[in-house]
Amino acid sequence: MKTKFTFLLIGMLLTFQAATAATATFNVTVPNDGGTDNHHQTNKVMIVGNFNKWDAAGAIECTKVSDTKYTVTLDESTFADQTVTLATINYKYVCGPDWAYVMKDAQGGELGNNVYAGTSPQEDVVVYWASVWKDVVPVPGTFTIDIYAPKTVTEMYCTGNFNDWKTPGFEGKVDSTDTKMNLVPANSDANGNYFSIKVYTKNAYSLAYQFATGKAWMYQQNQGNNSYTDVTQASILFDAVGDATANPPVAPAITFKRIYNASLLKTVTLNVTPPANTAKMYIKNEKNGAAGEFIEGTKNTDGTFTFTVTGVDIMYYKYYNDQLDANVEYKADNTAVTDNRTADAQVQTTFTDTVLAWASTGVSTIDAARYKVYTSNKSIVVEGVTNKAELFDISGRNIESKVMSGTFRTTALTAGLYIVKIDGQTQKVSVK
């Protein structure tokens, strides 16, 4: 009887758990205008999110209710990531088993994640797809993609699911993974430049791609993904000028976030006033979409600094008082400057900036009368902490952070140079 009772109890518990498993229904309204627009048609809908570890290929298919309505019910007990619950779920809709088919805003721009509001059913709306999945027999092959661009466009790149969405400018195997398109002088004229590239795809129906006028995503097209509207065509031409009648057929016109032109690059001058007694200054920038190294400025007799940067189209940057990411500029209220400064060389080339404070001075500034700093058994020890202690590696990466008072002892460290920041004061410490 005891054995039967035990099995009965286990069965009741399992039944109870199944009955109380958290579920929620998600209803989504999707575009389907009956036309041929590649971004407003829907053939299937799938849901992907942190619950399935953002695996687009393994997205859960929704049930079709009508041409514009789909639904799906998610059960917490089936989540691939069991640390995720309905209360913490983040998700997006895709219309095919790839991120090439993700939901977009009405202009084809990126969207943040959807979040479950806590009431089932959840009602969602998709107004635009990056691309539209066509659930047909795959058509593999090599296809030609052409674009007729404004004369100011001197180089063009194409990237898509055929090359795993390599960053524009990626150099790989020509006509396979390379992103750079070929300039075709014979088809170019006084109004524009003609570019072409051959790509191989396992399925022309699911081919998705975008154009960029420079070696970075900041130069990509404004629209969502492009695709072949008719896979029986050996090639397809896109128009970025507005008049390409000499080279038909023409797909919908393409515009760009920004046009890169090497002949229009400028020299940018930054004049900056730092906090008093600043010995050195640096900038770390992202120039024309590429991350740069630290650049040291020239100190002037009046305590200001001047930076000269050549070859700039557009540059994002911050100021530092040492070649460490931790030693970045701060606001006057001792909070971090979160947004990068911008130098758009096509608008102006001389900029006047002011740095109000530093996160750290990059030198030994800890008050020796107040704190005692030393190393012991591969650890850094600081006595006399009253508020907060932080440890950074030499690149500025935060390793440890504690709100505390008393003695701060780090974990055992590998040999090298570190930075401790104690109650707002910093010091470099060598661990041997």
Judged against a pLDDT cut of 90, whether residue 247 lies above it is answered with no
Kindly indicate the confidence band of residue 332, based on its pLDDT and cuts at 50, 70 and 90.
Answer: low
Compute the distance between CA of residue 395 and CA of residue 408 in angstroms, rounded to an integer: 21
Kindly indicate the confidence band of residue 37, based on its pLDDT and cuts at 50, 70 and 90.
Answer: low
Give me 334's structure tokens.
């001792």
Q: What percent of the chain has pLDDT over 70?
A: 86
The predicted structure's pLDDT at residue 234: 58
Average pLDDT over residues 317-338: 85
Compute the distance between CA of residue 404 and CA of residue 402 in angstroms, rounded to an integer: 6
Judged against a pLDDT cut of 60, whether residue 16 lies above it is answered with no
Judged against a pLDDT cut of 60, whether residue 1 lies above it is answered with no
Across all residues in the chain, what is the average pLDDT?
Answer: 85
Ranking 32-41, 128-137, 374-383 by mean pLDDT, the lowest is: 32-41
Compute the distance between CA of residue 239 and CA of residue 234 in angstroms, rounded to an integer: 17
The predicted structure's pLDDT at residue 18: 41
Sheet holding 46-49, edge to edge: 60-61, 46-49, 90-94, 114-115
Average pLDDT over residues 305-330: 93
Give me 330's structure tokens.
């701060």
Kindly indicate the confidence band of residue 7, based on its pLDDT and cuts at 50, 70 and 90.
Answer: very low
Average pLDDT over residues 386-413: 85
Judged against a pLDDT cut of 50, whether residue 248 lies above it is answered with no
Average pLDDT over residues 146-154: 91
Q: pTM for the complete prediction? A: 0.62
Q: How far is CA 429 from the centre of its chain?
A: 34
Kindly indicate the confidence band of residue 394, based on its pLDDT and cuts at 50, 70 and 90.
Answer: low
Judged against a pLDDT cut of 80, whether residue 237 lies above it is answered with no
250-251 and 235-239 beta bridge pairing: parallel
Kindly indicate the confidence band of residue 395, based on its pLDDT and cuts at 50, 70 and 90.
Answer: low
Judged against a pLDDT cut of 80, whether residue 232 lies above it is answered with no
Domains of the chain with CATH codes: 2-129 (2.60.40.10), 141-251 (2.60.40), 265-358 (2.60.40.10), 372-431 (2.60.40.10)
- Phi-psi map region of 409: left, alpha, beta (phi>0 left; psi -120 to 50 alpha): beta
Kindly indicate the confidence band of residue 249, based on its pLDDT and cuts at 50, 70 and 90.
Answer: very low
Q: Say if CB 310 and CB 349 are below 8 A apart.
A: no
Q: What percent of the chain has pLDDT over 90?
A: 51
Question: Counting runs of H as helices and runs of E as strands, what totals does the chain give?
Answer: 1, 34
Ranking 46-55, 90-99, 227-236, 369-378 by mean pLDDT, the lowest is: 227-236
Sheet holding 192-201, edge to edge: 182-183, 192-201, 141-150, 235-239, 250-251
The predicted structure's pLDDT at residue 28: 97
386 or 107: which leads in pLDDT: 386
Kindly indicate the confidence band of residue 324, based on its pLDDT and cuts at 50, 70 and 90.
Answer: confident
The predicted structure's pLDDT at residue 226: 85
338 or 185: which leads in pLDDT: 185
398-403 and 425-431 beta bridge pairing: unpaired
Average pLDDT over residues 83-104: 92
